[in-house]
Amino acid sequence: MTAHPPAAAPGGRGRSRRVVAPFAAVSVLISAAALTGCGQQRDAGAYTVMNSSTDESYHRWDAEAMARCGKQLGVTIEQQSVPAAQVMTKALRMASSKSLPDIVQFDASEMPTFADAGGLTDLRTLGLSTRDIPEGIVNFGSYQGTYYGAARSVNTLALFYNKDVLDEAGLPVPTTWAELRETAKKLTQGKRYGVALSAGGAEDGVFQFTPFMWSNGGDETRLDSPQVVAALDYWKSLLKDGSLSKSTVSWTQADVNDQFMAGNAAMMINGPWQVETLNTKKSLHWGIARIPVPKAGDASVGPLGGAVLTVPNTGDEQRERTAARIVACLSGEREQLTYALNSWMVPANEKAAAVWRKRVPELDALADQVAAARSRTAKLGAGWSSVSLALQSAFQSALTGQSSQAALTRAQQRATSGN
């Protein structure tokens, strides 16, 4: 949050910054739309899916999946792709004109805002089952206990490393913060930094900070806690050592990948959406591992990323039920595996994920990381957007000179006040 295509961030390679729609504005617009009434006249045999598959490969993969499901269900499924940062605003405009598509693929971090405003239908009431889906991924598509979004695949972050560089230095892959810091120091030479990550003022940076915050026992409900401060102080230590570029405050995850591929970073924090690009450079021998933890034995808890397929509340129950059957097909075990193998993401379905592990053993560590990952919106729901914006500001302040405690104290104030 999809996996969704490279145009999205996080969970994608794109450089565009996601615009977070204020919850109050969403509520007003959806309420004013009177979603219980149907607007435009619809073709009974044609259904529309709005997603963010603007990348040619993802658009083609989705079109092929929709053709297969359409044939199976006896309907025509049309794909409408818009840039990921525009999905929410586009959906709001369509809601106000009562012209919502039958299915909308939202980034999972945005879905609760639309759901809280009454814009989505409970998928369980429409007949979708969550059997064989891990609880964490069910929660990923839920808001306040209601299952609104079906994930086809999910992603998270991992530590990518240059095998040749580590081998030449005779260093093992780091597993703890202390090991990561020491290894990064030793691998920082000339124009090459030991590690690269995104700490920019956008959701990319927040996505990358969560494994450090959560694995250290921090919580998004209290940004100024000692655990969260220590996590940000750890980032600052990498910067102080010279192991992390000062440009990290402006890098997206795509920029981080560019640095790694160019040989300007020996290790990086990134996600599986970069694999297709990494594999284009045959001379680059890379591996992945779980993100290092504060101390040996701690759980490496990363963020679940990707998108979920939802059925908007249009008031046309018959169309909603058919739309749910389309969602069930697109998120079914077979289609999940096909989509995950194409996109290098991890299937949400446990059975499909087991097959996926065997097909791509080089990404097995990623599946382990997903198993312990959790949704950014699990605790705060629609309130996550305020926390994200507050953290983005804190990174910029702390990594350019302010103390972590001061930056995060201000972030907590911003998050709770909504300013």
31 plus 89 within the same structural domain: yes
Q: Give me the pLDDT at residue 41, please.
A: 65
Q: Give me the pLDDT at residue 364, please.
A: 85
Q: Give me the pLDDT at residue 39, please.
A: 52
- Distance between CA 222 and CA 228 in Å, rounded? 8
* CA nearest neighbour of 49 among 373, 289, 364, 312: 312
336 plus 403 within the same structural domain: no
Inform me whether the pLDDT recorded for 216 exceeds 50. yes
Q: Tokens 């603007």 correspond to what residue?
A: 54
Query: Does residue 236 lie in a domain region?
Result: yes
Query: Does residue 249 lie in a domain region?
Result: yes
Higher-confidence residue of 37 and 262: namely: 262
Q: Which of 352, 372, 392 is the last residue of a domain?
A: 372
Burial of 401 (0-12, 13-18, 19+ CB in 10 A): exposed
- Distance between CA 110 and CA 245 in Å, rounded? 31
Q: Which two tokens stand for residue 355?
A: 């097959």
288 plus 413 within the same structural domain: yes
Which residues have CB under 8 Å from 373's CB, separation 6+?
136, 154, 156, 301, 302, 303, 304
239 plus 95 within the same structural domain: no
Q: Give me the pLDDT at residue 333, please.
A: 94
| Percent share of the chain, pLDDT over 70 | 90
107 plus 180 within the same structural domain: no
Q: Give me the pLDDT at residue 30, please.
A: 56
61 plus 80 within the same structural domain: yes
Which of 114-118, 227-231, 386-390 has the weakest average pLDDT? Answer: 114-118
Inform me whether the pLDDT recorded for 1 exceeds 50. no
Higher-confidence residue of 10 and 271: namely: 271
95 plus 244 within the same structural domain: no
**In the chain, how many domains are there?**
2
Q: Give me the pLDDT at residue 344, please.
A: 87
Q: Which two tokens stand for residue 415?
A: 């998050």
Q: Give me the pLDDT at residue 7, please.
A: 38
**pTM of the predicted protein model:** 0.84
70 plus 191 within the same structural domain: no
Domain that holds residue 171: 158-302+380-417
Query: Does residue 238 lie in a domain region?
Result: yes
Query: Does residue 14 lie in a domain region?
Result: no
- Distance between CA 51 and CA 331 in Å, rounded? 14
143 plus 32 within the same structural domain: yes
| Mean pLDDT to the nearest integer, 283-300 | 96
Burial of 97 (0-12, 13-18, 19+ CB in 10 A): exposed
Buried b (16+ CB within 10 A) or exposed e, 129-158: ebeebbebbbbbbbbeeebbbbbbbbbbbb
User: Residue 104's beta-bridge partner residues?
Assistant: 50, 310
Query: Does residue 343 lie in a domain region?
Result: yes
| Mean pLDDT to the nearest integer, 316-321 | 95
Query: Does residue 5 lie in a domain region?
Result: no
**CATH code: domain of residue 188:** 3.40.190.10
264 plus 400 within the same structural domain: yes
Q: How confident is the model at residue 409 (pLDDT cuts 50, 70, 90)?
A: very high
- Distance between CA 10 and CA 376 in Å, rounded? 12
Inform me whether the pLDDT recorded for 132 exceeds 60. yes
| Mean pLDDT to the nearest integer, 359-383 | 87
316 plus 296 within the same structural domain: no
Inform me whether the pLDDT recorded for 296 exceeds 50. yes
What is the amino acid identity at position 51? Answer: N
| Cα Rg of the chain, angstroms | 21
Which of 49-53, 86-90, 317-321 has the weakest average pLDDT? Answer: 86-90
With residues binned 3-state (H G I as helix, E B as strand, rest as coil), the percentages for the chain, rounded to 5, are 50, 15, 35
Q: Dihedral, CA atoms, 10, 14, 15, 18, nearest 10 degrees?
A: -50
Query: Does residue 13 lie in a domain region?
Result: no
Inform me whether the pLDDT recorded for 419 exceeds 70. no
39 plus 99 within the same structural domain: yes
Query: Does residue 17 lie in a domain region?
Result: no
Buried b (16+ CB within 10 A) or exposed e, 300-315: bbbbbbbbbbbbbbbe
Instruction: Name the average pLDDT for the chain.
Output: 89
